[in-house]
A and B are shown apart, each in its own frame.
Chain A
Amino acid sequence: MIIQARVEAQNIAMSYGTNVVLRDVNFVIEPGEFFALLGPSGSGKSTLLRLIAGFNHAQAGRLLINGADISKVPPWARNVGMVFQNYALFPHMTVRQNVAFGLEERKLPRHEIAEKVRAALSLVSLSDYAERRPSQLSGGQQQRVALARTLAVEPQVLLLDEPLSNLDAKLRVQMRHELRSLQRKLGITTSVVTHDQEEAMTTADRIAVMHHGVIQQIGTPMDLFDSPMNRFVADFVGSINLLPGRVEQTHGTVVFESTTLGRIALARAPFRSGPAEIALRPHTLALAETPSDSTRAWLTGTILDREFVGEFVRYTIKVNDRTIIADQPHYIGRPAHASGNPIYVGVDPAQITILPPAHPHIEP
């Protein structure tokens, strides 16, 4: 019986003394959506999450849940459930007592509490661990208890602060799936804070990329990957090659011109003419000893270095005055190109994204 809540932030600004932490933040989390706040440390994402939970106060702006301004509501009255990065399980209580905590604060009758605790624990598959203490649980189990404890009170919004950062790599992938399917099953509006772009991309419906307290771009994972709006987003989500140049409209076609690429006709129209940067994803580049495919624009270069990643080989190539990275899928029997050899790099115009030059509002 989860209420699907809509969360909205309007013009939120927050500072600690002279240190500006959040700058004109606006976003909407739709009911039932899995929304990620993604950014490096210091970007303000955790601050924003804690704002929603009520542990911070913004100096300006409004925070609305289902249209109601909650800025003045204290944390214990918001009905917004938060799972902390270090889980914050009460060490002096058993798993059962931990999960029952919020229900006891709501003064529910004893049998109802017992039933809800049982349901919450079975939701996270920890029914057999009810009498254990937090210190007797593994990291993954502790996280599930924290989740059960938060979900037991049926909050209208679920907040997760770096939920996977304390888990080891294999466990992370598994928990990612579990979190996502749990959220889908319950349909609860969820916001996750993470610095791991792979985690955000694989789990979230939409992502807000943050940097220096400003939201750089909000979009679906594919939107962010294919159409980054600025250099920071292009570089943060996946790997990227960036080349400077100019965009020109000539005779109805849009052309990008740079010292490295020469003139290349673009398939997708960027915003306007003028100086710009071209963004090339390493995996879209083709490498050949002689250029063959005429739909591509070919550059000449020399291989500086290569890294064998397994699924692909990553080449560092010098082209004119620039260094670019190209990823080539690896198959058994396919040899890698040798360092020091000359090579042709093929660019597919349809895969190019154009970025505006640095915008003062977005990249401080």
Chain B
Amino acid sequence: MLKGATPAQVAVALLIAAFLLFFLVIPVAMVIYVAFVEPDGAFTLSHFGSFFHISLMRESFGNSLVVAGLSVVVATLIAVPLAYFTARFQFRGALLIQTLGVLPLIMPPFVGAVAMQLIFGRNGSVNLLLNDAFGVSLPIMDGLNGVIFVEALHYFPFILMNLVVALSNIDSAMEESAQNLGASGFRLFRRIVFPLAMPGYVAGAALVFVKVFDDLGTPLVLNVTNMLAPQAYLRITSVGIEDPIGYVISVFMIVFSLLALWMSALALRGREYATLQRGGSSLARRTLTPAQALIAYTWIVLVLLLVLTPHIGILLLSLAKVWSFSVVPDAYTLQHYSSVFEDSPRMIWNTVLYCGVAAFIDVILGTAIAYLILRTRLPLRHSLDFVASAALAIPGVVLAIGYLRTFRGIELPFTGELLTSSWLVLVIVYAVRRLPYALRSCMAALQQLHVSLEEAAQNLGAKQRRTLTRVVVPLMAGGMLAGFVTSFMTAAVELSATIMLTTSQSYAPMSYGIYLYMQSAAGRGPGAALGVLAVVIVALGTYLSHRLLRSRALDVVKQI
């Protein structure tokens, strides 16, 4: 039932467009504009010149690229063997690997970073043990290494899941005909399996690169400031919102994000490589020889231990009375939890409020956009999808700077309070940043709803609105709820924009609270307790949205 636009549809489309315009397009455009413009309005590249003149900036740029790149490398090293084991071998550990693919994602990297310090840092558990036993210490967490390690450990599932899907889409007939023609072993891998799996890998790798490049929270928590995102934050907060360097950095971050996402999209389009025919089956699975089994399981156990360290670490930290210079805490207490619930219930409530409202907005917008795209012939409707999804390419730091600049001086009606100093701006930035997730869930839900159901309702006499309320929405409910949950939980652990936009503790959400707490030695306990709470929320949310969508393959890849 595709017809031309009705006035109601046009009105809805215009409202959505206005929202995206004011809260995404204009702030980002403003940032780019300021980077290229003199105070008097003339076009200039001098800001870029100044940027490259400052050695700290050059160093940060290089560091960001290196860190993002090496994170991809380390993530690949972790993920590829796991993907290979899953796809290639008959394997009882398959479930284990799937768990490995989910565990890291439920712990926000900046939360785990502190725990990793305690375990892998200079004076952390591992190095203490190594020192005692062998007299060596590994600089795993020093400076940039720490960032790379934490990020790779958190983001490798993106590569793992994409690769597993890509490998399982390769029809065994491909391999068999290659073998029939004489190829085997490594040659077979190199000429058949690898090229066919490549697009999946590139898609995952590009996303890991973007996420690491843009991450503000993890470097800050680890006290690493010579990278682009922390520098942008520091320049804006110390020198001021007029400082052009912050904008220059933002432009670089946008460019790289767009480049990486574009590469990922290109790679996925080439996924017409999915060759699985009707009646075909995936790559034949071999059984493991005892030697291979040993290697496989050893690797899996190692990775599992690594993956669990931040989780265990944060748990221990939240329960530790004192923990320094010792392998495990010296004494335990529940005090941190009680102090969190006594002193900072406000922060928990704030998170629930802001993220709840933002997720609600996202679901409404997501459903509306999905309906406009899939069920109408409104001209330019695909641009709504495009712009809304473009929010994924905009780093949190950049959006925050854009808001600070665009909305400065704007007062809220009735209160005279500045928009940028109120909690409303947090709700807006969460809604904009997390809209792509809700949109995907809603699109998937609506796509599964065959249009003949709506036509049947109309044929039986139901007008547009009745068809929506009696047929469409009830059947989309699962997907909408999943979208709400995903938006909510990813907003709950958002830190990049939050740090920049929260000016007072009184309305700070949980993520900001964790960040503040972690800055002092005494605050680490309660900070960890809050962190555990955050992990529980994310874990619950992931589980809920799995159940609601009832489709595993869709889910993890789409959490990107």
Contact = CB atoms under 8 A, between A and B. Distances in A.
Are A and B physically bound partners?
yes
Interface string B466-504: 100011001100000000000000000000000000000
Contacts, number: 64
Nearest to A84: B452
B460 A88 contact: no
A76 B459 CA distance: 5
B459 A81 contact: yes
Contact of B459 (A57, A82, A85): A82
A150 B455 CA distance: 12
Interface centre among B455, B457, B460, B474, by most chain A C-beta atoms within 10 angstroms, is: B460
A105 B460 contact: yes
Interface centre among A53, A57, A91, by most chain B C-beta atoms within 10 angstroms, is: A91
Interface string A80-94: 111011101111100
Nearest to B475: A92
Given A86-B452, A88-B453, A76 B475 contact: no
Contacts of A88: 450, 452-453, 455-456
B1 interface: yes
Contacts of B475: 90-92
Contacts of B471: 90
Nearest to B3: A57
Nearest to B1: A55
Given A91-B475, A92-B475, A153 B456 contact: no
Interface in B269-312: none
A236 interface: no
A102 B461 contact: yes
Nearest to B467: A76
A251 interface: no
A153 B462 CA distance: 12
Interface string A320-363: 00000000000000000000000000000000000000000000
Contacts of A149: 456, 460
A40 interface: no
B459 A80 contact: yes
B462 A86 contact: no
Interface in B426-462: 450, 452-453, 455-462
B458 A75 contact: yes
A92 B477 CA distance: 11
Given A88-B450, A105-B466, A76 B458 contact: yes
B463 interface: yes
A101 interface: yes
A88 B456 CA distance: 6
A106 interface: yes
Contact of A76 (B452, B461, B474): B461
B467 to A, nearest CB: 8
Interface string A259-302: 00000000000000000000000000000000000000000000
B357 to A, nearest CB: 28
Interface string B181-198: 000000000000000000
Interface residues of B, number: 19
B77 to A, nearest CB: 45
Nearest to A97: B470
A161 to B, nearest CB: 9
Interface residues of A, number: 27
Given A55-B1, A91-B475, A86 B458 contact: no
A71 to B, nearest CB: 14
Contacts of B461: 76-77, 102, 105-106, 153
A76 B462 contact: yes
A55 B467 CA distance: 15
Interface centre among B1, B458, B474, by most chain A C-beta atoms within 10 angstroms, is: B458
Contacts of B452: 84-86, 88
Contact of B453 (A53, A81, A90, A153): A90
Contacts of A80: 459
A88 B1 CA distance: 14
Interface in A118-135: none
A88 B466 CA distance: 17
Given A88-B455, A88-B456, A76 B463 contact: yes
B462 to A, nearest CB: 5
A89 to B, nearest CB: 8
A150 B463 CA distance: 16
A84 B455 contact: yes
Contacts of A55: 1, 455, 458
A102 B457 CA distance: 8
B463 A84 contact: no
Interface centre among B450, B455, B475, by most chain A C-beta atoms within 10 angstroms, is: B455
A101 B460 CA distance: 7
B525 to A, nearest CB: 49
A81 B470 CA distance: 19
Nearest to A85: B452
A88 B463 CA distance: 17
A187 to B, nearest CB: 21
Contacts of A84: 452, 455-456
Contacts of B3: 57
Contacts of A146: 456
A88 B461 CA distance: 15
A153 B456 CA distance: 13
B6 to A, nearest CB: 11
Interface in A47-97: 53-55, 57, 74-77, 80-82, 84-86, 88-92
A316 to B, nearest CB: 32
A75 B450 contact: no
Contacts of A92: 474-475
A53 B459 contact: yes
A153 B394 CA distance: 53
Nearest to A78: B459
A82 B1 contact: no
A75 B466 CA distance: 13
B344 to A, nearest CB: 42
Contacts of A89: 456
A86 B450 contact: yes
Given A84-B452, A86-B450, A102 B1 contact: no
A209 to B, nearest CB: 26
A90 B461 CA distance: 15
B501 to A, nearest CB: 41
Contacts of B456: 82, 84, 88-90, 146, 149
Contacts of A153: 460-461
B457 A101 contact: yes
A84 B450 CA distance: 11
Nearest 3 pairs of A and B residues by beta carbon:
A102-B460, A105-B461, A88-B456
27 contacts: A55-B1, A55-B458, A74-B458, A76-B458, A76-B462, A76-B463, A80-B459, A81-B459, A81-B460, A82-B456, A82-B459, A84-B456, A85-B452, A88-B450, A88-B452, A89-B456, A90-B457, A90-B471, A90-B475, A92-B474, A92-B475, A102-B461, A105-B460, A105-B462, A105-B466, A149-B456, A150-B459
Interface of B: 1, 3, 450, 452-453, 455-463, 466, 470-471, 474-475
Interface of A: 53-55, 57, 74-77, 80-82, 84-86, 88-92, 101-102, 105-106, 146, 149-150, 153
